[in-house]
Chain A
Amino acid sequence: MPELLLRDEQQTTAKWEEESPSRPGAVYIDTNVLLQYVDYFLRHSEIRSPLYKLGGEEEDFPEYIVGGRLPTPGMPLASILVRRWPYRGQAIWIAGTASELFEVESYEAKYAQPTKAAIAAILSQTTEFLGYALPKQLGLSIEPPAFKLLENSTLASLTHKVLAIIALGKRRGTPIRSVSVTSFKDLEAINFEQLVLKVYLDSDSDTALQIWDNLSRDIEDLKKDLSPHEIKVLDEGLGLDCEW
């Protein structure tokens, strides 16, 4: 796993800049990919944190501050700061605190190119810290083509609901190894692309086909609580595939 740099928030930028060139093992990832990833999970996690983008005079220095809360009202869980450092181009900074009782810790990495391993490394260390258990529980990965589709808020919300169904299945013993969010283009249809949740199973064929049916029926049951528009998006924009 690539190194994820960890430092104290009180370190100065100058000190970080001084030290960062000597960190050849740093995680490499494209800033925009990570921003979308963080944004997506914080907006659609079980905790459903709002995302606030600060603008104004800091336009060339965008900051994203996200406040999350535990289900217990008023109890702060985490805050996260994702910052694109103006002096370092591709660098990004993630800071989080579990609560006021814990020391503020921050994760820092400098990034250049996106890799799936880097995304996995970031998530494996930040999701648990911030309390977002769903991605870790499912061994979740998101293929870059899915990001654009997830900009559709209805589809993103439905994706979260379906992931919750899959996670529930796993908690109940369904042999789910991992889940990948990806896209599928039907090459013979014009402008057709949909989101696909691909579930990797550790089972034989008969069991896998039965699991596929069961998960599909659970997803079908979601429709009882959805609006007509959401049902249409679920039918036409989101599919479930299984591999075993």
Chain B
Amino acid sequence: MFDPANFYNLASQLCSSGADETSLRTSVGRSYFSAFLSAREKLDTLGYYHPKHSGEDHPGVRNALGSIGRSDLKNKLLGLSIRRGTADYNLNATVTQRMARNTLQIANGLMPEISSLT
């Protein structure tokens, strides 16, 4: 099975200094999906959330994190989702390296927390 953490590695590569905005936007998206998919799978394994494999899983995973008392993870995933929404859909916004790096850093902190959920 594909490990969504690989998306984080790609996001990191795309965020190198001098990267163009296309790379930065893609980096933001991959950062989000590395955390989102990791959380979805972990919550499924633990029985806290059963994926619908549709767009409903985006809020569904966050809600599940909140319902198990992890508002910290819920909010971080929300922050990633907001940034990813900007990067993927908002052509009028400028996605900067600072934003991409911050997004990467949020995902980096989130991944081990998700892995350690019990």
Contacts and interface: CB of A to CB of B under 8 A. Distances in A.
A166 to B, nearest CB: 12
Given A236-B66, A239-B78, A242-B79, A213 B59 contact: no
Contacts of A235: 63, 66-67, 71, 74
Interface stretch (B4-12, B18-26, B43-51, B81-89): B81-89
B109 to A, nearest CB: 6
Say whether chain B's binding surface is mostly helix, strand, loop, or mixed: helix
A61 interface: no
Interface string A208-233: 01001100110110010000000000
A190 B59 CA distance: 10
A205 B67 CA distance: 27
Contacts of A219: 71
A186 B55 contact: yes
Contact of A189 (B58, B78, B102): B58
A234 B66 contact: yes
Contact of B71 (A186, A189, A220): A220
Interface in B50-77: 55-56, 58-60, 62-63, 66-67, 69-72, 74-76
Interface string A185-196: 011111010101
B66 A187 contact: no
Interface residues of A, number: 26
B13 interface: no
B105 A186 contact: no
Contacts of B58: 186, 188-189, 192
B82 A241 contact: yes
B67 A244 contact: no
Contacts of A187: 55, 85, 89
Interface in B89-110: 89, 101-102, 105-106, 109
A240 interface: yes
Contacts of B69: 220, 223
Nearest to A220: B71
Nearest to A206: B105
B68 to A, nearest CB: 10
A147 interface: no
B100 to A, nearest CB: 13
A209 B106 contact: yes
A189 B36 CA distance: 14
B105 A209 contact: yes
A244 B66 CA distance: 23
Given A187-B89, A209-B109, A235-B63, 15 more contacts: A184-B85, A186-B85, A189-B58, A189-B59, A192-B58, A192-B59, A212-B75, A220-B69, A220-B72, A236-B63, A239-B74, A240-B75, A241-B75, A241-B79, A241-B82
